[in-house]
Structure 1
Amino acid sequence: MLGFLSARQAGVDDPLRLRRAESTRRVLSLKLNPDRDVDRIHGNGINTIDIDAIEGRYMLSGGADGVIVIYDLENHSGKQQYTCRPVRTVGRSSRHVHKFSVETVQWYPYDTGMFVSSSFDKTMKVWDTETLKPFDFGHYFEGNVYSHHLSPIARKHSLIAVGTKNPKIQLCDLKSGSRIHVLQGHRAEVLAVRWSPRYENILATASADSKVNIWDVRRASGSLFTLDQHNGEKSKASSQAENTAHNGRVNGLCFTSDGLYLLTTGTDDRMRLWNSATGKNTLVNYGKVCNESRKRLQFSVSHGCSPEFVFVPCGSSVAVYALHTGELITMLRGHYNNVDCCEFHPDYQELYSGGKDGNLLSWVPVVRTADVEEEPNGENKVAVGLSAVNPAFQDNWSSDED
């Protein structure tokens, strides 16, 4: 690390390289935070969480009990040990509460004054954060709502993509409150939907029919393409008429932060990395990624690291993989039951996870004693010490490449 600081001070390296190096070190040292607790409010499992992109301060959680909680992640106690307290709660006593399990919550990308939730009670609600009341226009669907998503970058539209038990994807306009378009192409329930963080009109959808479709919502003629795990080599595939992304239900979608790649997970215990522009399977082998969920699985990708990492619920643990090599870096263990969701906090390289045990856990970078070396004159210096965490990444720190 001293080498990075010296090079930065001398003007040899730009600040981006130092930032990437430190971000990578922090992710590789993630541990369960012994000093930070998150108040347990949910009576049952936690299905979904979201951290606001504006301040990085407030976290939403939605549970199997239908309850929605807003947490303040900042430490206001002035002490090292503290508890993240809920600032607002849509509890069972509220007449606006969801009747059944909340499957997805998401902050409005440009303002914490509003958020959206969807549930197995066949509704999607747009909430005013201040009053904790949904706006007058509510959306009722024919079946359970598995997933919804607002584009994080859209300027020309305010569409919410919604995946339900019905194979048709619904596009709802946040401004007017009406459903303006339907995308047809799946043959079973749509378990996950995700807008591209690179192109505001590109949408990815995953279904129980084993397919992942990529759409340009400006086109009315159908999807741009359907992801094919065999990259067109039908001779190596079992005799099947259509392209499939997995050999089971596809219940997880996540773009990388630059939008160049798309990750998918399925109940065939596989995770795949795709080129989002061409739809090609990159053939990265992550090994067996346990996935027994019949619903949407929320996983996350790091941001600002080199290399990037993937955080995936795997049983009662969170598995951390290198994005482009598929190497399993570590397993974060702390939950007492299956993990259903995890969310990466890019501002501090922290991770939050929720599971069926009803707990929200905070995983933070720690400074290991091995990272502090004693100089001959008695002064301390901070050493990078990546090889102590994972020797495979030692070269990434000594290399001059970004």
Structure 2
Amino acid sequence: RVLSLDLNKDRDVERIHGCGINSLDIEPVEGRYMLSGGSDGVIVLYDLENFSRKPCYTCKAVCSIGRSHPDVHKYSVETVQWYPHDTGMFTSSSFDKTLKIWDTNTLQPADVFHFDGTVYSHHMSPVATKHCLVAVGTKSPKVQLCDLKSGSCSHILQGHRQEVLTVSWSPRHEYILATGSADGRVKLWDVRRASGCLITLDQHNGEKSKTSSEGVNTAHNGRVNGLCYTHDGLHLLTVGTDDRMRLWNSSTGENTLVNYGKVCNESRKGLKFTISWGCNPEFAFVPYGSTIAVYTIFSGELITKLRGHYSTVDCCVFQPNFQELYSGSKDCNILAWIPALREPIPDDTSEKSLSQQHLNPAYEDAWSSSEDEG
């Protein structure tokens, strides 16, 4: 289904934003409500459900925190995220140096955390049951951990040398956090440990760094501005301004050396890319200029580029229930990419078409297992 993703002429997302869209998030409880954060500070909440039952419909905005709202962010919203366990709360962070915790029903902030510098990224663990920590990456090299229970920034992780552009909790272990910085480094932390850092990822897997004058592991030869775990948490995908994407074993820290070719990335802030789940094989969706590049994660193959936006794409989010993709761009639009249902195949060509499909394992259905696995 992912391979047949196409811009859907029948599906529209109501246009509310008057500026570029930096961040999207779909709540994991029902997969129904989507948040968007704009470069003018505006936040919009959409209902993706099709009540009309007609093929042609528009995803309506349920509510928004617009420019006239007393608590609207003063500057660009860089990250929005739903509270992972229910839709009654969501979070947003901004270049106005704040992280806000919102009550969905009242659209009032339940709490506001203030920082010394602009906030590039924040993330709540999708699996945590024993803590309520929000990891926050700011202009400071120190990673901040904000505790929603106590309302304080309880913890600081020190080790990066420059601003922290991207943070992501492991979906497998609730205390493991990955961070990426403008210093070219990706660090994995166990936030229970005083010393903190477990591994600093090394693109050379320990070989070149022995002879390098600096003697410090780097994940990229440029700013690291995007991180995303695979859904099972076994691998971590990183992007950097060296125009490279790298896949890492998240338990050993080993660079798997998958070659994705040149992945153009000039973003001075965080790049919000995403990974499919429930597919076989899994795909990465990476904003690439005004397109979204789709890669097979473990082979590195560039499958396609999704074209439809008129300007730079800044974010995308995957909806696993229907295997749909939503993307936000500087053109102020949110586009829905829906698997196109295949036309029925005429009888005389059906055998030929099916055999051609099976040449590429990516065309197999999500539930089919390939013979050479294991």
Identify the match of residue 116 of structure 2 among 114, 120, 142: 142
Is contact 2:241–2:265 with CA below 8 Å preserved after alignment? yes
CA distance in 2, matches of 1:393, 1:151: 30
- Report the CA distance between 1:76 and its aligned residue: 1.7
CA distance in 1, matches of 2:292, 2:30: 25
Identify the match of residue 119 of structure 1 among 94, 99, 103: 94
Where does residue 3 of structure 1 map in the other structure? none
- Report the CA distance between 1:179 and its aligned residue: 1.0
Identify the match of residue 157 of structure 1 among 131, 138, 146: 131
**Structure 1, unpaired ranges of 5+:** 1-25
Where does residue 205 of structure 1 map in the other structure? 179
Deviation string 1:105-155 (CA, Å, 9 cap, x unpaired) is 0000000000000000000000000000001x3100000000000000001
Where does residue 39 of structure 2 map in the other structure? 64
Give the number of aligned pairs. 371
Residue type at the aligned position of 1:373: I
- Report the CA distance between 1:221 and its aligned residue: 1.1
**Which structure is higher in helix share?**
1
Where does residue 86 of structure 1 map in the other structure? 61
Q: Could you tell me the TM-score, scaled by structure 2's length? A: 0.95
Q: Could you tell me the TM-score, scaled by structure 1's length? A: 0.88
Where does residue 7 of structure 2 map in the other structure? 32
CA distance in 2, matches of 1:307, 1:236: 36
Relative distance call for 1:351 and 1:382 in structure 2 (3 A) is farther
CA distance in 2, matches of 1:78, 1:391: 34
Where does residue 292 of structure 1 map in the other structure? 266
CA distance in 1, matches of 2:229, 2:211: 26
Where does residue 345 of structure 2 map in the other structure? 373
Report the 3-state secondary structure (helix = DSSP H, G, I; strand = E; otherwise coil) of the residue aligned with 1:85: strand
Is the aligned partner of 1:98 residue 2:73? yes
- Report the CA distance between 1:222 and its aligned residue: 3.0
Is contact 1:246–1:266 with CA below 8 Å preserved after alignment? yes
Query: Where do residues 129-278 of structure 1 align in structure 2 (5 Å cutoff)?
Result: 129-135=104-110, 137-234=111-208, 239-278=213-252
Is the aligned partner of 1:324 residue 2:320? no
CA distance in 2, matches of 1:383, 1:114: 52
**Structure 2, unpaired ranges of 5+:** none
Relative distance call for 1:49 and 1:121 in structure 2 (3 A) is same
CA distance in 2, matches of 1:398, 1:234: 38
RMSD over equivalenced CA pairs, Å: 2.2
Deviation string 1:265-320 (CA, Å, 9 cap, x unpaired) is 00000000000000000000000001010001011111111111110001100000
Greater Rg by CA:
1
Is contact 1:230–1:237 with CA below 8 Å preserved after alignment? no
- Report the CA distance between 1:389 and its aligned residue: 9.6
CA distance in 2, matches of 1:161, 1:382: 52
Residue type at the aligned position of 1:152: P
